[in-house]
């Protein structure tokens, strides 16, 4: 079997293409390679985004050789076969329950394929599908009228299903099925009422004295360009504004607006570098400051007003239940903040109007009235989906939806289903692992790739990795890994280094199964270039189809959920002290959570203030030590015998250096003087209130002088290593107790510093 099957199998794929020309074409057809500038031409010829199965590949034969050499076990390698025959098409793993079967089946399968899979259980799912499909189709066409009359969604759906399918007869039965099955994903609601979406307030013009400048001249702008300039100005001190792509896209769109709305001064804006948005920025900052200064009462009132306005949008009624709506505010206009090297970042995202929004609501429900003039683009009644409103955003052409909030029944149920699926995977995971381990040696290249990918997904919790378009940031997941992302470190270690979702860097060195190592070596073998796909015969849909054959609904991402949950539980078990305090248990929980975050590579960028705040923490720690040092000196002064009694106290704080002493002593002096001044002012204010005369300036000066003297004294004491005991508290035991207290504070402080440092890039909330 192997022979036949494999040969047929192989051909199809063949790796993408050889380096140059193939992809160049591909690319050009699509788009002028604006892609990441990173390695411009490499990309141009290196990467061909879509077709994995593209051209016949010369490379295959090489592979086989390599493989033969390296892998005795897999004797007949079929790499070769791949190269030769080209008869069939590819059929990635199909439904066989075990890899082997799958392989065999494949060949013969194609004709029958779809049926065998869905066939039996299909009955009901099919209905569901049809229902949905039809509805959608209908909507697209706007055929809405036809069935519209059927009040009941179910009925409607049924009708369609029927139309599409052949059967008929028992409508009633079908009807019930719908009812009963509504968890199968087709019908989501019977009644749906809500108040639509909330549009942001119209643009408010800046005061006429606030103007950006061009080449030094203030420009008077129409509202449209002024608003967009303001979007940029607001980001002036963020890295967005410093980003070249962001600047270029913003400037291009802004110029477009200026074309129709030239500045009153008649100046032609051409050069971004001559633009000075600072006056606008400063105005915004001022506004922010004002907002902060509002009294608590004012803030409260503003909040109450806001809440009053959004009240109607908060709740939707579904089948009689009240449910919270999630993002009922439509996205305000702004500059697109794409992450990483997104080619479109900085692009102007338009303001939305009712004419952009499609509303989904029960027919029986009143159609909401927009809070700004205009009428909805469309009102639909699709009970097979859970969105309440939908629109298309102009920057990337992506669809945006208004859904219920995370706490709603719909989201909650689907969340639970997710975990149930992950739990169910537990029952299958052993078999799956066994199978892919065996398949690592498969003669069928496609299967071998799939097995290798599964290994990575399972072991490293990688994401599936769909192909992406040219107009997006260049990021990858497992199936879209390229050769350049994997480095082999003999004997059995691989280094993975790539930008994943959100352009977060994934960087790991892991020891892998020798066969995995060998496979990757084969996949990387010669005629390929660094920009070629590592798994050139694997797609996410192929992979998921294979996974689905083990367990209904099993897909690549379930492994992430599964492994995250497993790791969490496992760590929890290991770390939780049998009978610990609550604090210890919480610590265990946090630690386990952190492990998960690391596994899933959840990261955050280190905050801009991280460095500063760490330095502050460091100084705080040193300040405590300084205090302790003084206490020690006091102690030894009060009772010299203590030196013998507590030798461990004699030489502490060795990390306190002159540099710090000066800084600390100066800052102490400053803060003390500051405090004195404030106190003085307060006292005077009070006196004044009581109708008395304020104290003289000289009172304050005296106090300040005193502080200065004390400070000098303190420095002297430090140098002399001898501190006079205060009148009270000269008791050695008390001093010792105080030292102990400081020790504890030092400890806590140290721990929190380490903690903060080690967590600076780990995003802990995601996995929570």
Partner DNA sequence: AGCGGAACTTAGCATTCCAGGA
Partner DNA sequence: TCCTGGAATGCTAAGTTCCGCT
The one among 472, 513, 665, 717 contacting DNA by CB under 7 A:
472
Nearest distance from residue 654's CB to DNA, in Å? 23
CA distance 329 to 332: 8
Residue 326 or 694: which CB sits closer to DNA? Answer: 326
**Which string of b and e fits 705-728 if b means at least 16 CB within 10 Å?**
eebeeebeebeebbeeeebebeee
498 vs 517 by CB, closer to DNA:
498
Residues 330-359 that bind DNA (CB under 7 A): 331-332, 334, 336-340, 342, 349
Give the SS3 label for residue 402: strand
Phi, psi of 320 (to 5 degrees): 90, -10
Q: Does 487 engage in binding with DNA (CB under 7 A)?
A: no
Q: Which stretch binds DNA (CB under 7 A): 362-370, 535-543, 654-662, 735-743?
A: 535-543
540 in contact with DNA (CB under 7 A) = yes
Interface stretch with DNA, choices 253-261, 269-277, 411-419, 567-575 (CB under 7 A): 411-419
Contact between 558 and DNA per CB under 7 A: yes
Interface with DNA in residues 498-517 (CB under 7 A): 500-504
Residues 579, 577: Cα–Cα separation, whole Å:
5
Kind of pairing between the strands at 275-276 and 213-214: antiparallel
Nearest to 161 by CA among 191, 189, 126: 126
d(CA 270, CA 665): 54
Other CB atoms within 10 Å distance of the CB of residue 672? 17
Residues 101-120 touching DNA, rule: CB under 7 A, are: 110
* The 3-state secondary structure of 31-69, one letter per residue: CCCCCCCCCHHHHHHHCCCCCCCCCCCCHHHHHHHHHHH
- 441 or 602, CB closer to DNA? 602
Q: Does residue 390 touch DNA according to CB under 7 A?
A: yes
Smallest distance from the beta carbon of 125 to DNA, in angstroms?
7
Least distance (Å) between residue 54 CB and DNA: 7
Nearer to DNA, 211 or 345 (CB): 345
Q: Both tokens of residue 456?
A: 């990575």
Say which residues have a Cβ less than 8 Å from residue 53's Cβ, sequence separation at least 6. 12, 13, 14, 90, 537
**Binding residue for DNA, selected from 117, 378, 393, 743, defined by CB under 7 A:** 393
Q: How far is the CB of 544 from DNA (least distance, A)?
A: 5
Q: Among residue numbers 174 through 203, which ones bind DNA (CB under 7 A)?
A: 188
Instruction: Return contacts of 589-596, CB within 8 angstroms, 24+ apart.
Output: 590/764, 592/567, 592/568, 593/568, 593/764, 593/767, 593/768, 594/759, 594/762, 594/764, 595/567, 595/568, 595/571, 596/564, 596/567, 596/568, 596/571, 596/767
d(CA 576, CA 397): 48
For DNA, the closer CB: 291 or 645: 291
Region 269-328 residues binding DNA, contact defined as CB under 7 A = 303, 326-327
Mask 691-730, x = binds DNA (CB under 7 A)? Answer: ----------------------------------------
Residue 261 dihedral angles phi and psi, to the nearest 5°: -130, 70
CB of 176 to DNA, least distance (A): 21
CA–CA distance, 674 with 213 (Å, rounded to integer): 40
Least distance from DNA to the Cβ atom of residue 347, Å: 10
Choose one: 47-55, 76-84, 258-266, 730-738; the region binding DNA (CB under 7 A): 47-55
Cβ atoms of residues 543 and 479 within 8 Å: yes
In angstroms, the Cα distances linking 153 to 160, 185, 321, 367 are 11, 14, 17, 17
Candidate ranges 394-402, 660-668, 696-704, 728-736; the one touching DNA (CB under 7 A): 394-402
In the complex with DNA, which residue's Cβ is closer, 433 or 501?
A: 501
Q: Cβ of residue 169: shortest distance to DNA, in angstroms?
A: 21
What angle do the packed helices 153-164 and 99-141 form, to 10 degrees? 120
Is 666 near DNA (CB under 7 A)? no
Cis status, amide bond into 135, omega within 30 of 0:
no
Listed ranges 273-281, 379-387, 640-648, 676-684: which one lies at the site for DNA (CB under 7 A): 379-387
Kindly tell me which residue out of 418, 459, 646, 664 binds DNA, with binding defined by CB under 7 A.
Answer: 418
Nearer to DNA, 218 or 333 (CB): 333
Q: Residues 197, 316, 588, 600: which binds DNA (CB under 7 A)?
A: 600
Q: Compute how many residues bind DNA; rule: CB under 7 A.
A: 92
- Among positions 220-279, residues that touch DNA (CB under 7 A) are 238, 240
476, 499 contact by CB (below 8 A): yes
């Amino acid at each position: 079997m192997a022979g036949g099957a494999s040969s047929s199998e192989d051909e199809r794929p063949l790796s993408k293409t050889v380096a140059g020309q193939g992809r160049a074409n591909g690319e050009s057809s699509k788009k002028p390679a604006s892609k990441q500038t990173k390695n411009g031409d490499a990309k141009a010829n290196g990467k061909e985004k879509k077709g994995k199965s593209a051209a016949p590949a010369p490379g295959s034969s090489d592979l086989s050789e390599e493989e033969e050499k390296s892998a005795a076990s897999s004797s007949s390698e079929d790499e070769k076969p791949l190269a030769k025959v080209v008869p069939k098409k590819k059929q990635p793993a199909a439904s066989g329950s075990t890899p082997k079967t799958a392989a065999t089946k494949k060949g013969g399968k194609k004709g029958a394929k779809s049926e065998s899979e869905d066939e039996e259980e299909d009955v009901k799912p099919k209905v569901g599908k049809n229902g949905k499909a039809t509805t959608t189709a209908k909507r697209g066409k706007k055929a809405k009228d036809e069935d519209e009359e059927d009040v009941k969604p179910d009925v409607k759906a049924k009708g369609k299903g029927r139309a599409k399918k052949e059967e008929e007869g028992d409508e009633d039965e079908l009807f019930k099925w719908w009812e009963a099955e509504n968890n199968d994903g087709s019908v989501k609601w019977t009644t749906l009422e809500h108040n639509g979406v909330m549009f942001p307030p119209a643009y408010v013009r800046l005061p006429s004295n606030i103007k950006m400048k061009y080449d030094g001249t203030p420009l008077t702008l129409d509202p449209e360009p002024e608003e967009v300039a303001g979007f940029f100005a607001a980001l002036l001190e963020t890295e967005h504004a410093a980003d070249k792509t962001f600047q270029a896209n913003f400037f291009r769109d802004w110029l477009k607006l200026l074309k129709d709305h030239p500045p009153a001064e008649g100046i032609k804006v051409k050069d971004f570098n001559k633009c000075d948005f600072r006056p606008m920025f400063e105005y915004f900052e001022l506004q922010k400051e004002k907002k902060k200064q509002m009294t608590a009462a004012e803030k409260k009132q503003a909040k109450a007003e806001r809440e009053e306005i959004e009240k109607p949008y908060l709740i939707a009624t579904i089948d009689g239940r009240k449910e919270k709506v999630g993002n009922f505010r439509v996205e305000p206009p702004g500059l697109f903040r794409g992450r990483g090297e997104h080619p479109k970042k900085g692009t102007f995202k338009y303001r939305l109007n009712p004419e952009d929004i499609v509303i989904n609501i029960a027919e029986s429900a009143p159609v909401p009235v927009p809070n700004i003039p205009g009428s909805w683009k469309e009102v639909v009644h699709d009970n097979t989906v859970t969105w309440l409103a939908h629109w298309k955003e102009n920057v990337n052409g992506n669809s945006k939806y208004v859904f219920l909030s995370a706490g709603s029944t719909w989201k909650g149920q689907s969340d639970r289903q997710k975990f149930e699926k992950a739990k169910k995977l537990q029952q299958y995971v052993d078999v799956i692992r066994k199978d892919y381990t065996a398949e690592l040696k498969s003669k069928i290249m496609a299967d071998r790739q799939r097995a290798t990918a599964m290994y990575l997904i399972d072991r490293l919790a990688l994401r599936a990795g769909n192909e992406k378009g040219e107009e997006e940031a260049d990021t990858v997941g497992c199936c879209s890994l390229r050769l350049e992302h994997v480095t082999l470190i003999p004997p059995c270690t691989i280094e993975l280094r790539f930008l994943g979702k959100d352009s977060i860097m994934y960087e790991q060195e892991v020891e892998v199964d020798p066969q995995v190592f060998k496979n990757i070596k084969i996949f990387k073998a010669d005629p390929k270039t660094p920009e070629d796909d590592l798994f050139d015969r694997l797609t996410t849909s192929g992979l998921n189809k294979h996974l689905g054959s083990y367990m209904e609904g099993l897909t690549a991402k379930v492994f992430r959920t599964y492994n995250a949950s497993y790791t969490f539980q496992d760590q929890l078990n290991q770390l939780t002290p049998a009978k610990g305090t609550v604090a210890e248990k919480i610590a265990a929980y946090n630690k386990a959570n952190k492990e998960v975050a690391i596994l899933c590579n959840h990261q955050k960028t280190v905050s801009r203030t991280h460095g500063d705040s760490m330095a502050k923490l460091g100084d705080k720690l040193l300040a405590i030590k300084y205090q302790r040092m003084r206490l020690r000196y006091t102690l030894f002064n009060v009772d010299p015998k203590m030196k013998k009694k507590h030798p461990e106290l004699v030489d502490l704080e060795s990390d306190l250096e002159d540099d710090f002493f000066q800084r600390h002593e100066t800052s102490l002096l400053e803060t003390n003087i500051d405090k004195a001044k404030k106190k003085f002012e307060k006292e005077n204010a009070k006196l004044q209130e009581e109708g008395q005369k304020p104290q003289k300036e000289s009172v304050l000066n005296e106090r300040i002088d005193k502080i200065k003297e004390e400070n000098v004294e303190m420095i002297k004491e430090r140098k002399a290593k001898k501190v006079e005991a205060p009148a009270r508290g000269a008791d050695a035991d008390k001093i010792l107790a105080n030292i102990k207290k400081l020790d504890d504070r030092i400890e806590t402080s140290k721990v929190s510093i380490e903690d903060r440092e080690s967590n600076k890039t780990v995003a802990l909330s995601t996995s929570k």
